[in-house]
Amino acid sequence: MDAFYASVELLRYPQLKGLPVVIGGSRRREDEALRHVPEGGTLADIPVETFPLLRDYVGRGVITTATYPARPFGVGSAMGLMKAAKLCPQAIILPVDFDEYRRFSRIFKKVITNAAPVMEDRGVDEVYIDFTVVPDGQLEGGRVLARRIQRSILEATGLTCSIGVAPNKLLAKMASEFEKPNGVSIVYESDLETRIWPLPCRKVNGIGPKADEKLQRFGIRTIGELAARDRSWLIENFGKATGAWMHEMAWGRDERPVVTESEPVSMSRETTFDRDLHAVRNRAELGAIFTHLCEKVAEDLQRKGYVGKTIGIKLRYDDFKIATRDQTIEQFTADAKTIRLTAGRCLKRVPLERPLRLLGVRVGALVKAGSQEARMAQVGSTARAEAEAAMTASLF
DNA sequence: TCTGGGGTCCTAGGACCC
DNA sequence: TCTGGGGTCCTAGGACCC
């Protein structure tokens, strides 16, 4: 989806179309005070002048999305809001509203599965579609179906998206960025040399800042330069798995299937404080936040029907270093009290001298609530061993 | 001017078991 | 007294993605 969060906001506030707008930070009381709907009007009637500006922003947070008119100023995803305010003070800033983005996410994904059922969810604004066997999927290299999907999404949501069509996920992902926004780009295997090799390695899904830096140290800047290296050289310098993957990727090869179903592995809640907090000096405040995070994770687990048995915490210190601790317990749980107790024990094992800027709680090793695994663990470990033995015996 | 929140996967060492 | 190979699970950290 194109500038997804910002585009959803523009559906509510069409008066902001064409203006630099950034989405980021959390909901602030000032926002509510500034923007009130005129008598007998709608959100669309709120005067542009009453929207909060980036120049007035104080506090922590990053940009999640910037509209296209904001981007020439150099602001974009993951940039700190205070820095963005220097680059584009006149931009309008809106707080994130995940519930609304998730609502539109469900709608556009439904439109897609109606047209092409083999869809892999890649987060709130992105999917892979396998339309190998969809009727008309091969017409004009896929362009006909891609345009049809774009039209259906636009009709259902008012939002635009960009689609990359290619023989595999690796190339499709790169192709999807070629014609943003509202574009369709088709990449054939024969386009490798001309359209993929000139791209910087960083464009590959899976090459992040660290890997890119290491590649650059070897003088490798483009995918083509990567493809020119021997497979054995890559394995020597990047390890067996990564080296082999790099070689395959540079030659445009990717056999990963489009995965339509998956189970969650973990669920977590974390929060960055308005100001750094100290474990001793701000004990009460931290304790309340900690308990609240545990309750939210428990709620999430219960709402979605999962239980887990690895409970963990995450801290981010004022120097931005991260520490995690976790503990695996005997029984699967989705209970706030149990999570709080176990997370509390984790907290006792981590250094608490430095001020903290973030606290998080995580529950992992998830299984479906009421599943065989969850039930077996619930009868206790000795009984579980017996139950397992009984199950093994029953196989024969 | 400091840098969100929610995830996945990988690695590596150690405990423990056969 | 010194010495095997597996294998699984747990834990901590880190890279990366949306």
Instruction: Please indicate, yes or no, whether residues A177 and A200 belong to a single structural domain of this protein.
Output: no
In a domain, A260, yes or no: no
In the three-class reduction of DSSP (H, G, I as helix; E, B as strand; rest coil), residue A288 is classed as helix
Res A394 pLDDT > 50: no
Q: pLDDT per residue over A7-63, tens digit each?
A: 999 999 999 999 999 999 876 655 665 567 888 899 999 999 999 999 999 889 999
Q: A258 lies in a domain?
A: no
Which strand B bases fall within 7 angstroms of a protein CB? 1-12
Domain boundary among A96, A118, A136: A96
Which positions of A are catalytic?
126
Residue with tokens 């790099």: A246
- Considering the domain architecture, whether residues A237 and A177 belong to the same structural domain is answered as no
Q: Which nucleotide minimizes the distance between its C1' and the CA of A213?
A: C15
Rounded CA-CA distance A152/A157 in Å is 8
Strand C nucleotides within 7 Å of a protein CB:
9-18
Contact A313, A360 (CB under 8 A): yes
Under a CB-based contact definition with an 8 Å cutoff, are residues A247 and A231 in contact? yes
**Does residue A393 have a pLDDT over 80?**
no
A380 assigned to some structural domain? yes
Domain C-terminal end among A65, A96, A127: A96
pLDDT, position A391: 46
Shared domain for A162 and A228, answered yes or no, is no
pLDDT at A373: 87
Give residue A375's pLDDT: 82
Tokens 């039930």, residue located? A375
| Same domain membership, residue A208 and residue A150 | no
Q: pLDDT at position A359, please?
A: 98
Gap between the Cα atoms of A16 and A14, Å rounded: 5
Q: Å from A391 (CA) to B3 (C1')?
A: 51
Q: pLDDT digits over A256-271, tens only?
A: 999 999 999 999 999 9
A98: Cα separation from own chain's centroid: 12
**Which residue lies nearest B6, CA-to-C1' measured?**
A268
Shared domain check, A139 and A235: no
Contacts of A47 by beta carbon, 8 Å cutoff, 6+ apart: A15, A38
Using a 7 A cutoff on CB, list residues near strand C.
A 78, 122-126, 173, 204-212, 309-310, 312, 321-328, 346, 349, 365
What's the whole-number mean pLDDT along residues A81-108? 95
Note whether residue A257 is domain-resident. no
CA-to-C1' span, A41 to B10 (A): 54
User: Which residue is nearest to the C1' sugar atom of B3, using CA?
Assistant: A80
pLDDT tens-digit readout, A137-159: 999 999 999 999 999 999 999 99
Q: Domain check: are A42 and A104 in the same one?
A: no
- Domain assignment present for A259: no
Q: What is the pTM of this model?
A: 0.91
Better pLDDT: A262 or A382: A262
Q: What is the CATH number of the domain that holds A72?
A: 3.40.1170.60
Domain count of the fold of chain A: 4
What CATH number is given to the structural domain containing A235? 1.10.150.20
pLDDT for A122 equals 97
Each residue of A316-358: pLDDT tens digit? 999 999 999 999 999 999 999 999 999 999 999 999 999 999 9
Residue A108 lies in a domain: yes
Q: Same domain for A158 and A211?
A: no
> What Å value separates CA A386 and C1' B5?
42
Q: Which residue is nearest to nucleotide B1 (CA to C1')?
A: A83
A146 with A112, same domain: the answer is: yes
pLDDT at A388: 46
The pLDDT value recorded for residue A25 is: 82
- Regarding whether A9 and A41 lie in a shared domain, the answer is yes
Using C1' positions and the CA of A311, the closest nucleotide is C11
Per-residue model confidence (pLDDT) at position A66: 96
What values do phi and psi take at A70, rounded to 5?
-85, -25
Q: Is residue A396 a part of any domain in this protein?
A: no
pLDDT-above-70 percentage for chain A? 92
A27-59: b (≥16 Cβ within 10 Å) or e: eeeeeeeeeeeeeeeeeeebeeeebbbbeebee
Residue A332 maps to a domain: yes
Q: Report the C-alpha gap between A306 and A363 in whole angstroms.
A: 10
Give residue A384's pLDDT.
45
**Cβ-contact A91, A52 below 8 angstroms:** no
- Longest C-alpha distance within chain A, in Å? 75
The distance (Å) linking the CA of A325 with the C1' of C12 is 7
Do residues A66 and A80 both lie within one domain? yes
Task: Output the domain CATH number for residue A136.
Answer: 3.30.70.270
Same domain, A310 and A375: yes
- What is the DSSP code (8-state) at residue A44? G
Q: Is A120 helix (H, G, I), strand (E, B) or coil?
A: strand
Q: Tell me the pLDDT of chain A averaged across its residues.
A: 93
Residue at minimum CA to C1' distance from nucleotide B8: A265
A1: exposed, middle or buried (Cβ count in 10 Å: 0-12, 13-18, 19+):
buried
Render pLDDT for A217-230 as a digit per residue (tens, 0 to 9). Answer: 999 999 999 999 99
| φ, ψ for residue A233, nearest 5 deg | -65, -40
Query: What is the C-alpha to C-alpha distance for residues A76 and A79, in angstroms, rounded to an integer?
Result: 6
| Domain, as residue range, for A226 | 193-250
Following CA atoms A84, A160, A108, A302 in sequence, which dihedral angle do they give, to the nearest 10 degrees? 0
Provide the CA A352 to C1' B1 distance, Å, integer: 27
* Same domain (yes/no): A236, A278: no
Nearest nucleotide from residue A322 CA, by C1' atom: C13
- Final residue in a domain of this structure, among A187, A217, A237: A187
> In this predicted model, what pLDDT tens digit does every residue of A349-381 receive, in sequence order?
999 999 999 999 999 999 999 998 888 755 444
**Is residue A28 a contact partner of residue A95, using CB atoms and an 8 Å limit?**
yes
Please report which confidence band the pLDDT of residue A396 belongs to, taking 50, 70 and 90 as the band edges. Answer: very low
